[in-house]
Structure 1
């Protein structure tokens, strides 16, 4: 099938891209591997809530329903995305898993990409946007002794509800928002430690009664190229806190300890040399871009990292990305950030296409 734009991925990034593309005159085909248009949201843990309020968590063209200052739950986001997809004027095809993007060996403006899907069908277009996110590719670091650990090893993407861990000793690797949120929820049922390379860094969720995300936008930190260094400081992602997270950790369950040196049998070996039996090691270590379908194209660096500038491929004219972490700003991989990134990328790609 021939089109002027193929979008790979039907979650928040792909849906936002489809909406923006219609306003720019494209007729997009959107390919989604699963049978739904809610992206990875149905697979997140049950109690997940956004760390940005509803008024700052909408895709372009559709405000998030409910209390604008409330923090939407996982199920509310799923319902929102499903409704959003239903209102799009786009050719959305669920159950279409992209397996390979190809073109000729001489990258140039004006040539066409061919997107092959698992069923054997193919789609061609001069512009392709990879908007697949990263949830399907959890990052599991090479920790000493991890492969031979005799307890249970899980990734945060495997976590659903805390009751399954009742009475167990759990060590969570990671100190970001998900690690802290999961750790505090588990602490009501288990003995929990957050093992991190740096101290936890808390950022107030609200300042002077206003959500921090508004301050980030007003100060320009949201989109400043140097803001990543300021916000992370090379010492991990800040944890947005209403005041309850820091207070809970101060009680000692969960506690925070420096990263263990290794795993040995069923034990963790802490930096002071002590060994402690552990039932579960839970990796809250993030994700990596799920763009394996671009591997043969030559558009990726080591570790399947896209080669791009602000979401525009630096290797293949007409190829773009939406939904990458820190693609252009702090909010790039979030509901509130994908729309602006989609507009930026599509505008640049359209300008680069040869005029007929």
Structure 2
């Protein structure tokens, strides 16, 4: 990793905020297009939020679909990588990058000056550059929907707080959400907890996808196309997530470990309620309900709407020409926010930034 002075000339400097998969892919793409990337990562190493995911996490697609540009994922291309294998992969990828990487640098604000952007970290450091790419992911902003739990006196966790089933031994647990994480967590807990119920608005859709190369090839190409992102943004793909049966999930659900029910309609102090006067005593609720973008560092810049979403088109800010994003859900392609999709949008963003911002042209405040 190349280390230089933060006060060096900033003509082609590009600040990348976030050192996970999206930030690493962005740094690689920016370097390819003639920028001098400086990557600022809040954590102790450039692996993003992966160390904070639950211990047993397994990716939901084969290794050959989960590589960043220029470095295949090691091992059998058909295997499904674990959390720790992803961490090792990202560590190795970071070592290959010819750019500055600074850890322990949580960005608190981004503002404009005459040279472009001023990026400030919690350490008090300031960095100057004409280009900023925000690649902060969403793990730090878990989505906790209003499910009417104000009277519930039990434990309520988000999946981001779940690590392993040990602390839930002998407890009655409800997992909310029938996506990959919800199903993985519920099936794992069912081996330890007294009772586990998976609840969701949509049915659980499980398919045997291992070895179906035609399916994964189709999804890979769909994932690269703007059509995929358009479908995601319009909601046509919402609730249609198909889960690979790699973990024996279908059999587990058929055996009632966990059981599956529709979303509850009411919560009291110790029970969840369904229609027809059915109820269930519950100790813990785990919300596998997704995440939202972590972009508050851009609030002072005026780059976000009231809901905290960025004003952008295909990852390029529509309010500040030198600002871009990598890793937003449905940014330009279907898998933008996934490990295997980060490189596609990173390349598009870096190429477009170079075309729009000729050298020696500060562009931050050219609204």
- State the Cα deviation string for residues 133-164 of structure 1 (Å, max 9, x = none): 011111111221x2332111111011111122
1:156 is matched with which residue? 159
Q: How many Å apart are 1:219 and its aligned residue? A: 5.5
* Cα pair 1:204 1:243 within 8 Å, conserved: no
2:129 is matched with which residue? 125
* Cα pair 2:224 2:344 within 8 Å, conserved: no
In structure 2, C-alpha distance between the alignment counterparts of 1:128 and 1:256, rounded to whole Å? 45
- State the Cα deviation string for residues 231-263 of structure 1 (Å, max 9, x = none): 954435332334822222121221221111121
Asked if 1:15 is matched to 2:24, the reply is: yes
In structure 2, C-alpha distance between the alignment counterparts of 1:246 and 1:229, rounded to whole Å? 29
Cα 1:221–1:114 shift into 2, 3 Å: closer
Which of the residues 216, 221, 237 maps onto 2:241? 237
In structure 2, C-alpha distance between the alignment counterparts of 1:350 and 1:111, rounded to whole Å? 17
Within-5 A mapping of 1:153-302 = 153-190=156-193, 191-206=195-210, 209-210=212-213, 212-218=215-221, 223-224=226-227, 225-228=229-232, 233-242=237-246, 244-302=248-306
- Runs (5+) with no aligned partner, structure 1: 105-109
In structure 2, C-alpha distance between the alignment counterparts of 1:51 and 1:210, rounded to whole Å? 14
CA RMSD after TM alignment: 2.1
2:54 is matched with which residue? 45
SS in 2 for 1:306: coil
Q: How many Å apart are 1:112 and its aligned residue? A: 0.4
1:352 is matched with which residue? 356
TM-score (norm 1): 0.92
2:3 is matched with which residue? none
Cα 1:277–1:56 shift into 2, 3 Å: same
* Cα pair 2:222 2:334 within 8 Å, conserved: no
* Cα pair 1:154 1:281 within 8 Å, conserved: yes
TM-score (norm 2): 0.89
1:107 is matched with which residue? none
Which of the residues 300, 305, 311 maps onto 1:307? 311
* Cα pair 1:8 1:129 within 8 Å, conserved: yes
Cα 1:231–1:137 shift into 2, 3 Å: closer
2:110 is matched with which residue? 101
